[in-house]
């Protein structure tokens, strides 16, 4: 099992869903976990601060506090995101487009920027992309484009930071059972995705979190710039 004793791990969006599962697996692996979210995470032992990842000033202040407190930074997981689905092209406003890019793409960029500034060799970043960043999706243009952006940002950052010994990877989940997905009453996406997914079911948050943990760990020491599908096979065909 991965051992993160003595390591400091930042997880954005850790108050809910996949992010909460990520906080949990790192905590179980012995890491000191710091969560940055619009909401305070109801503490299962990790530190939690209110921080809007789309605002670079807030992100910088958050990482300054983490670094002042811990004196090191080992892993950044850029997980915070919004998922505007069920929005047609006609319904897509400049506000929705800008907000989606600011939270999902710029938010990840500010996390990467802090990692670049504060990590030493051996550090690692994991971003949350999505299968819709590769496959097209109707009624989700802003979201899908933002996740394609996250995947590409991952590759660019991997190249730029490789010389410092910092690895940058992403996971591309399929549809995962989280409040964002289950919160929509009778969400038509659920039976649709179950029908299309080769493994025949939605994923669970822990199934994504375990892969994030692996990518951040020494076991993945030769992996950088990878976008790893965690999608029950939906992207395979």
Active site residues: 143
- Minimum Å gap between C-beta 15 and ligand NAD is 4
Please give the residue ranges that form the binding site for ligand NAD (CB under 6 A): 12-13, 15-19, 37-39, 51-54, 79-83, 103, 107, 128, 130, 173, 175-176, 178-181
Tokens of 46: 């990790």
How many Cα atoms occupy the beta-carbon half-sphere of 130 within 13 Å?
26
- The smaller minimum CB distance to ligand NAD, of residues 123 and 232, is found at 232
CB of 173 to ligand NAD, least distance (A): 4
Closer residue to ligand NAD, CB minimum distance, 4 or 62: 62
* Crossing angle (nearest 10°) for helices 205-216 and 17-28: 50
Q: What does the alpha-carbon distance between residue 130 and residue 107 come to, in Å, rounded to a whole number? A: 15
What CA–CA distance (Å, rounded) separates 130 from 144?
Answer: 8
CB of 125 to ligand NAD, least distance (A): 14
Q: Is 127 exposed, middle or buried (0-12, 13-18, 19+ CB in 10 A)?
A: buried
Is the Cβ of residue 130 or residue 154 nearer to ligand NAD in the bound state?
130
């Amino acid at each position: 099992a991965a051992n993160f004793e003595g390591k400091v791990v930042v997880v954005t969006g850790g108050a809910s869903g996949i992010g909460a599962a990520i906080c949990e697996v790192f905590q179980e692996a012995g890491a000191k976990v710091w969560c940055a979210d619009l909401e305070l995470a109801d503490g299962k032992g990790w530190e939690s601060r209110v921080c809007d990842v789309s605002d670079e000033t807030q992100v910088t202040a958050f990482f300054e506090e983490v670094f002042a407190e811990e004196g090191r930074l080992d892993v950044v997981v850029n997980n915070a995101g919004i998922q505007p689905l069920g929005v047609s092209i006609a319904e897509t406003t400049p506000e929705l487009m800008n907000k989606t890019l600011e939270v999902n793409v710029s938010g990840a960029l500010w996390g990467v920027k802090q990692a670049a500034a504060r990590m030493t060799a051996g550090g690692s970043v994991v971003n949350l992309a999505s299968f819709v960043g590769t496959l097209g999706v109707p009624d989700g243009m802003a979201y899908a484009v933002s996740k394609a952006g996250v995947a590409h940002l991952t590759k660019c950052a991997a190249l730029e930071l490789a010389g410092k010994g910092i690895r940058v990877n992403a996971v591309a989940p399929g549809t995962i059972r989280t409040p964002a997905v289950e919160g929509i009453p009778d969400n038509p996406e659920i039976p649709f995705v179950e029908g299309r997914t080769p493994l025949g079911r939605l994923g669970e948050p822990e199934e994504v979190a375990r892969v994030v943990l692996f990518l951040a760990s020494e076991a993945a020491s030769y992996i950088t710039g990878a976008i790893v599908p965690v999608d029950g096979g939906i992207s395979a065909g």
